Amino acid sequence: MKTVEIFTDGACSGNPGPGGYGAILRYKGKEKEIRGGSENTTNNRMELLAVIEALKLLKEPCIVQLYSDSQYVCNAFNLGWVEKWKAKNWMRTKSEPVKNPELWKELYDLCQKHKVTYNWVKGHHGHPENERCDRLAVGYYQRYL
């Protein structure tokens, strides 16, 4: 299996408000940048979409080292939350559904195709790829302002 590095970030002006995401995919020294967003969204949706859209670009199963400043995304996988949510039909508790269930389902399915390791990086602390992804995300949503 190929090993790919993916760096992601999501951003929002207001929450909800206009938002964007950015990602960098790196394989054997070659990089591809992607970005997107929505006129009315939340930061967590953009963090999830950054990962989803990047993984969707992989044409075959890969080993993925994913780097994100979103504890929401990283902890969901690293602490086993997503497995618990899935087992409870995407519910956090008996009466409280998971927020963004359609995105979690899509991300969960993508992670079944790839071997993804989630690495949390502290945002806005000089991590070069995280800073680039932030610029991609913010640049995208600023077109709505």
Which two three-digit tokens encode residue 133?
């992804």
Measured between alpha carbons, how far is residue 136 from residues 5, 50, 58 in Å?
17, 11, 20
Active-site hit among 19, 47, 114, 129: 47
The yes-or-no answer on residue 109 being catalytic is no
The yes-or-no answer on residue 125 being catalytic is no
Active-site hit among 33, 39, 80, 124: 124
Q: Which residues pair with 66 in a beta bridge?
A: 6, 118
Instruction: Determine contact, residues 59/1, Cβ cutoff 8 Å.
Output: no
* Site of tokens 């859209």: 53
The yes-or-no answer on residue 36 being catalytic is no
Active-site hit among 10, 19, 20, 37: 10
Calpha distance 105→134 (Å, rounded): 25
- Residues with catalytic function: 9-10, 47, 69, 124, 134
